[in-house]
Structure 1
């Protein structure tokens, strides 16, 4: 009787030890599974948050600079934003080089006088921030972007928009700026292209004529610009696209979620100038620029876009397209 109880206790002890061991093992595997499951979500959501934070840091730095500009006027003979722009441009240029291995080709195609830069709008046009920063730092020229009106309603961004010359832009005001020899940038697709475009890189300009009217009015060339893999860096949430299309038509706001921040290779190509021709109508000029943009996409962008392929390009040597 005594031995039976002893054997029972021994077996029970073994069972409990085995249960504890099994439980610990399951905990390890469960923790590993949770890490595997949620790590991509953390990585994907990290950089968009960093980008937003950088916007507010940029705007805050420029606001502080603006407050103290009177003390710096003796040191700068140019406009009051010159030094502030270069500081924040250096930040963005560094981010492009570190995270995306950013390159830009065709700067020589931008004339010394006024020109209208027309670019393809990614889900988040981070490439355009890199373009503006690079050209300001290395060419000493400011690109004035035409921004959607909702940008001017975002709290805390006024200094940022003022410093970098972002304008809502009428045809007359844009043409006046160009006649003075400045660079002006427009994304004809705007928020619509950003939200509803996808990795097939279809140009969604909806026959907008405004940019063509500006170029004709100012008698300046148009420079098409496209960035390889921009749709792989950030993507808009395209499931239920009909719903997002309906929502955009109702609000004209970028309400479709954006995800990404992937360390893909970004390479900007600045195309040959489309010179001013008095025989062009706005319709014919839009058709010509759209054709040029589609040719640039066909020449430089594998379709459909692929995130893993674009990341591989970032970390491997590849031929310039």
Structure 2
């Protein structure tokens, strides 16, 4: 009897270890990819910039590895890909999950899209992590400045940004609240270049991986001081994940006075705080509406698991299938 009772806490301890180890496994997977890229470059003696086609094979292999993980573990899908214009500039704003595996799925996939070129803005703390620079450069991730982002849009690229960044990843909640902390640079850039802002969100992203709530206030003080999101994370739950891409929000939709032949005139308002604030609020509303339409609130792990079992429990996809308009991508109904 006592032996059986002793087994209970040991079992709980084992599962606790597994739940806290799985998120670490995601970061280990990233490092394995970075090491493989170093070997790839050394073996082939590559000195070409990462924008050259010779790197496309590496991108495609890594994208398919992430899609394999996405397919098996989360039955991953993308809805509304047609809302991203082809070969035209736009800014895509994505809600930031605790462990943003959806970001890895989406960015690696879009990096091999034949009809779109991307530029990804990464949180500053990412560039303090040793060893990952080659991986970020391969997938066009950079810190981003106002000038570089404007240039990317001038080159007809899709600029991918998560305005909430690490703060949203760690300190958002079960209601998927946006934690942007007055960030407005993306709206200023969109006004300057007169391009649309496209909201995007992944269903159940906070149910897959969660932040341990004990000592959260202490960890927040540490983050605000040092800007390092060092906090216990657990999870790896195989919940259903589906990225929803909303309809583009154009500047002239928010500011109708610029709709009739005055589109370029709005570019002069990129330094006007009132215009920037209004565009930020409109973008935030569009993303919040997307979340409310497609996410059970408050988030629930059990419901996410149930969706995984009932909605395409296993569908293996590859990058080739995605861009052949396969079952992975579909319109938002």
Equivalent position of 2:41 in the other structure: 66
Looking at CA atoms only, which structure, 1 or 2, has the larger radius of gyration?
A: 1
SS of alignment partner, residue 265 of structure 1 = coil
Structure 1 range deviating more: 208-217 or 64-73:
64-73
Structure 1 range deviating more: 175-184 or 41-50:
41-50
Counterpart among 306, 316, 321 of residue 312 in structure 1: 306
Counterpart among 203, 207, 211 of residue 232 in structure 1: 207
Equivalent position of 1:160 in the other structure: 135
Can you list the C-alpha shifts for 1:72-130, whole angstroms capped at 9, x where unaligned?
98xx9943422111111110111011111111100000001111110111111111111
Structure 1 range deviating more: 144-153 or 233-242:
233-242
How far the C-alpha of 1:271 sits from its partner, in A, is: 0.4
Equivalent position of 1:94 in the other structure: 68
Number of residue pairs aligned between Structure 1 and Structure 2: 293
Equivalent position of 1:194 in the other structure: 169
For 1:104 and 1:69, the matched residues in 2 are separated by 34
For 2:145 and 2:64, the matched residues in 1 are separated by 30
For 1:223 and 1:82, the matched residues in 2 are separated by 26
Counterpart among 282, 285, 298 of residue 291 in structure 1: 285
Higher RCO (CA 8 Å, separation ≥ 6 residues): 2
How far the C-alpha of 1:235 sits from its partner, in A, is: 1.2
Can you list the C-alpha shifts for 1:260-312, whole angstroms capped at 9, x where unaligned?
11111111000001124354721111010001011011111111101111111
Equivalent position of 1:205 in the other structure: 180
Equivalent position of 1:79 in the other structure: 53
Structure 1 range deviating more: 76-85 or 183-192:
76-85
Structure 1 range deviating more: 202-211 or 236-245:
236-245
Q: TM-score, normalised by structure 2?
A: 0.81
Q: TM-score, normalised by structure 1?
A: 0.84
Contact 1:114 1:178 in 2 (8 A): yes
Q: CA RMSD in A?
A: 2.3
Contact 2:239 2:307 in 1 (8 A): yes
> For structure 1, which runs of at least 5 residues remain unmatched after alignment?
1-24
Q: How does 1:262-281 map to 2 (within 5 A)?
A: 262-277=237-252, 278=263, 279=266, 281=275
Structure (1/2) with the larger helix percentage: 1
For 2:142 and 2:249, the matched residues in 1 are separated by 23
- Could you list the runs of 4 or more consecutive aligned residues of structure 1 that deviate by over 6 angstroms after TM superposition? none
Contact 2:21 2:234 in 1 (8 A): no
For 2:209 and 2:115, the matched residues in 1 are separated by 29
How far the C-alpha of 1:208 sits from its partner, in A, is: 1.1
Contact 1:135 1:141 in 2 (8 A): yes
For 1:219 and 1:68, the matched residues in 2 are separated by 44
1:302 aligns with 2:296: yes
SS of alignment partner, residue 118 of structure 1 = strand
For 1:207 and 1:304, the matched residues in 2 are separated by 24
How far the C-alpha of 1:138 sits from its partner, in A, is: 5.4
For 2:250 and 2:16, the matched residues in 1 are separated by 46
1:105 aligns with 2:49: no
